[in-house]
Structure 1
């Protein structure tokens, strides 16, 4: 991508002497020199039709939209700012366009400063309530927690009433969990104090990134700005690798704590750290100054701990069983490249019992959380670079060796990733051909093809999706469906039919060190080979499961500025099969099976109960009513475990002592909470098992009915493997 004259001018005319002045809170009243330059660079990029798929003029109308989105970003629940606060800055709402263009962002910083002040006032108010006698729960009050669409509170007194109910709800949750008043008061006081500290740590970078993303999201929902740290984290998530010690960290109170140890990393191999250890000091090399990091922001601590492969870092650790003032243990670790194996593709095999005269079927399952790729490693031709396609290919090779009968690719919750990976992954299942059409901003349509001859798996295939399956997941699922290569099972997908590219803002000034960050910019829209878009509508499954999340709550259709659905001409492609004649039989078998499947029924009950609670949008503050609700849920959990024992099916590890303890995640024992998350991987998964059963049904039907097989797979190159 070449530097446009406009962007070049912005770089050369940046006000290098601009130094922001801090207010009494420590938050600058205006941008730094780099932030001012970044604002101009982002404006130049998003307003240029050569880069942006749908450029929008940054005028007064968009300025008002940016103002609205900025307020929604910092106070989405309208819990801190009041109507007079918003009115105070209303005169700026049609001037933010000029602020972004010029890099003079003082209005945005002024709003953020007031926001921080209001947060502290609310924290002080909440802590003050704990000393009052307001915790009688015999009345009929409600805590109406869904405040997204309510108007801004008329004044501070109106917000007082809202916060009083919120605090009373927090107290009631802990009381129902069996906590005593003194313990409740102590827990909540610490909670609110920590909330205040968290917001007090917000700085100029937070204000700048939040405001600039209010601008980028006004263009479209998937255009985002990343500051240098955010860009680094994004790239790490895509490459599934980082250079550091290999530990997952979490902030608890004033200290950063080890949450998990990454297998195979320096921390794991040293055997010197464990979950729950608290990091109180960090030093560089073998003799660098040990810095006391108690009270630091977690991202600042992370910055000190990570570093280039081969360098050393020293950590002062206090074990979880010792007091924070205890003498720390000092360890030395040599940093290394760490592969985030937990996020990579994983495989398992499910055995579906025999049905009538048909023998049991073994179905291989591949769970893929994202379409990851180490872009830098691939560019350097590093043979060991992370790639979703390469990892899945290895798992398919093992499945072939194990002679499984079919494969389910589980893309639930897979939000996408690399477009290249989506194309190449599709190529593991089709033998060359178009995978996706891409329309650029000027209207030119190109076709992205799988050019690799042969396939990695030519047998029976199903793709499991849900509302969280987006972007690259939809490209893959849509191509498999259009080719008739496999069954798509689950829920209608997210509906994100646009393509983004990362633009490094430091590439133009040729900075040696990252200063300006990156923009994830929408550059194109993709279309299925059959011509339709997934935009807004998503991929509709062949066999539908109960909807867990409504389209009105989550998905592309919930964005007010999402691109509309449209279609273009189809492109010629192989039709491996047509599953339409098979679907009624599969639906019938599916319905009969889930009618007696307790786990599947319980899943549907839980979804229905969740939706009913969500639609209610409030919690009763009547103790008797809440206690009855809690006892009902506890009874359901207990009954289900007893039923599992009776039916000799696996117990759900998360239903043991799983009632609401009233605590937030960062208030629980970190090591136990991490172990609990690991246990979640062993939970019964009725949707996955039913997907495997549906695929097994399809194999049996096609094997047992040659006439049906000839209808479903008339010319399929893989027909012999679907129906032998």
Structure 2
């Protein structure tokens, strides 16, 4: 699965930390210190990463510098708390993290965490003071909370001025948006904001050594590769539960970015998936239970915010959401969802049939198979259940039913499919090819194993296409890559994620010696909060191998490039494996022996020409480009006006612009227009899916010629 989508920590901003020549935390008078257990674990993890992982990274100056950058970015991604003098102070640790961790020394890491925590509390306490200060909302000045590319504050005065503006913006924002439609008075808004800051102070004050340690280890493992993770006992249990077949909530994986809870993945089959209102990178700024009052969650710890968003099956949660790419001046949209129990059945492969009129005037039937993940019921397999559930079994049945319904082509939709069972990816490929190698795996000793489909025959030999996007990863890339390499079908969409590595989950207790276990016990510092059944010393998910296509090309970093491309808002610079500084590089090995089914090079060129001409004439294509442009505005987030009349006018302009755009889409689909005073209508039109089906029809026509 994709990195950091299931778990993240905190308000203390998915932080990270490291080490220097030993710091005396007692002398510094700072509040949090590492335990003996923490020191033992970081030492063993360093040994594992240096000697047994696929990458085998030396704990030298180079890795130390990467850890340093992870720490600084993680602690203060928006550059709203630390001063340049703090960054200068931290420079003394820059080259020492690797060696410190090998020695079990976390003192400098905790020093950095504590320094940030102190600054954080200072800023919030100053913000509390500013709530009751006089603010002139007729004055022309601006506020920018996204300061990643701006210099660090040079002085305490600069920092305080930023926080004065933040409080002013928060008050102005409450005035313009509080109560959805009713403007509350200034006293009420001040009370709301005061409670927000008090709550943030309370949460930050409860941070403990285990929180700091998890953050440190996240920075450490991220410096090695994006899919190697250490989880402390509590996090390990939460991670393993999240990988099970059931969970209750809205069906979205969340991460903290710039103090806002940000949607990073929408789980197939869940309420968010079915509702289709929430999108990747939307930011949740407030939560309400049922029809109750909204509770502001900006800046909360992620676990605390998730606790508000999750809930029992059948209960309602309302979310105030700032859309991905929307400016801070945009009024949040309200999303109402009924929580559900999300089970494997709802993530199973599903089918539908679309009737498409080709350019020759004939009607064609295209079977669509939506596959959210590669799944298999391992428990049923272990029990010897002959009717165990799996991706390949389900898809085989769907293909049989589509053949009975007389479809002309089949389209497999793997968008947002983050992977799953490797064996299922291999066996699913076998439904479309007649025996042969599917994927190669190289291990830490450079041994290469070729995994093949061993079953004769195919379930579908007609026209076939596969849709992928930037969030199609791992097993999805193995399947799509094999279909492409064999020339078995057309790959459509946008370049996939690029995750070509294999991870093993290992209980850290296997590496803690009896002597160290006694040392931890004797220290009296053993974590008393370890949940029942959780790994006592946590768990490491460590990269132990790498995938390669039958051609010898790795799926790592580059992903699978489609034959017929669609524009996407998810750029390689910001999304996917290639956006990760520590990602393993692309490389290649010897190709395996396989026989191509056909060479589609010439026909793909023709398909692209027809596809491009059709898109240029399509209003839906124009809407797609507009969506991409709006989404990418976040890359150049402008400052927000703190002048009330200007901000109000800007929001009204954005509101009318949004309504006009939606009405253009409704008119295109022949649906009633959105009138003033009505709730925003929902409509389900998937341009990429529709056009992909058109491309398959083009493929059929060209083949006949």
Name the TM-score class by shorter chain.
Answer: 0.7 to 0.9
Is the partner of 2:592 in helix, strand or coil? coil
| Cα deviation 1:279-304 (Å, max 9, x = unaligned) | xxxxxxxxxxxxxxxx99958998xx
1:80 has 2:81 as partner: yes
* Counterpart pick for 1:192 among 197, 200, 207: 197
Q: 1-side partners of 2:690 and 2:586: how far apart?
A: 33
1:589 has 2:610 as partner: yes
Deviation at 1:543, TM superposition (A): 0.9
Further displaced range: 484-493 or 126-135: 126-135
Q: 1-side partners of 2:676 and 2:565: how far apart?
A: 27
Q: 2-side partners of 1:111 and 1:372: how far apart?
A: 42
Q: 2-side partners of 1:381 and 1:23: how far apart?
A: 61
Is the partner of 1:435 in helix, strand or coil? strand
Q: 2-side partners of 1:411 and 1:653: how far apart?
A: 32
Contact 2:555 2:586 in 1 (8 A): yes
In the alignment, which residue of structure 2 is the partner of 1:405? 408
Deviation at 1:64, TM superposition (A): 3.8
1:575 has 2:596 as partner: yes
* Counterpart pick for 1:558 among 564, 579, 585: 579
In the alignment, which residue of structure 2 is the partner of 1:436? 439
In the alignment, which residue of structure 1 is the partner of 2:521? none
Is the partner of 2:610 in helix, strand or coil? helix
In the alignment, which residue of structure 2 is the partner of 1:230? 235
* Counterpart pick for 1:39 among 42, 61, 70: 42
1:146 has 2:152 as partner: no
Contact 2:663 2:674 in 1 (8 A): no
In the alignment, which residue of structure 1 is the partner of 2:213? 208
Q: How does 1:275-424 map to 2 (within 5 A)?
A: 276=290, 339-359=343-363, 361-373=364-376, 375=378, 378-381=381-384, 387-424=390-427
Deviation at 1:524, TM superposition (A): 1.9
| Cα deviation 1:500-544 (Å, max 9, x = unaligned) | 222222356699752122222122222211222233322211111
Is the partner of 2:127 in helix, strand or coil? helix
Scaled by the length of structure 1, the TM-score of the pair is: 0.72
Q: How does 1:620-639 map to 2 (within 5 A)?
A: 620-621=641-642, 626-639=647-660
Summarize the Cα distance change of 1:203–1:341 in structure 2 as closer, same or farther, 3 Å threshold.
farther
Is the partner of 1:47 in helix, strand or coil? helix
Summarize the Cα distance change of 1:416–1:126 in structure 2 as closer, same or farther, 3 Å threshold.
farther
Q: How does 1:223-262 map to 2 (within 5 A)?
A: 223-241=228-246
| Cα deviation 1:546-569 (Å, max 9, x = unaligned) | 131222222322222323322222
Give the unaligned 5+ runs of structure 2.
1-23, 255-266, 272-287, 293-299, 319-340, 518-532
Give the unaligned 5+ runs of structure 1.
1-19, 252-259, 265-273, 279-294, 307-314, 322-336, 660-678, 706-724
Number of residues paired by the alignment? 600
Scaled by the length of structure 2, the TM-score of the pair is: 0.74
Q: 1-side partners of 2:246 and 2:469: how far apart?
A: 27
Contact 1:371 1:418 in 2 (8 A): yes
Q: 1-side partners of 2:230 and 2:699: how far apart?
A: 46
Q: 1-side partners of 2:380 and 2:686: how far apart?
A: 35
In the alignment, which residue of structure 1 is the partner of 2:127? 126
Q: 2-side partners of 1:318 and 1:492: how far apart?
A: 38
1:68 has 2:69 as partner: yes
Deviation at 1:74, TM superposition (A): 2.6
Q: 2-side partners of 1:181 and 1:125: how far apart?
A: 23
Is the partner of 1:54 in helix, strand or coil? coil
Deviation at 1:153, TM superposition (A): 2.3
Of structures 1 and 2, the one scoring higher in RCO (CA 8 A, sep 6+) is 2
In the alignment, which residue of structure 2 is the partner of 1:156? 156
Deviation at 1:597, TM superposition (A): 2.8
Contact 2:416 2:472 in 1 (8 A): yes
Contact 1:637 1:655 in 2 (8 A): no
Summarize the Cα distance change of 1:503–1:559 in structure 2 as closer, same or farther, 3 Å threshold.
same
* Counterpart pick for 1:466 among 458, 469, 474: 469
* Counterpart pick for 2:629 among 596, 603, 608: 608
Summarize the Cα distance change of 1:426–1:405 in structure 2 as closer, same or farther, 3 Å threshold.
same
1:536 has 2:557 as partner: yes
Is the partner of 1:438 in helix, strand or coil? strand
Q: 1-side partners of 2:29 and 2:405: how far apart?
A: 63
Contact 1:411 1:469 in 2 (8 A): yes
Deviation at 1:642, TM superposition (A): 3.6
Alignment RMSD:
4.3
Summarize the Cα distance change of 1:590–1:60 in structure 2 as closer, same or farther, 3 Å threshold.
closer
Summarize the Cα distance change of 1:654–1:210 in structure 2 as closer, same or farther, 3 Å threshold.
farther
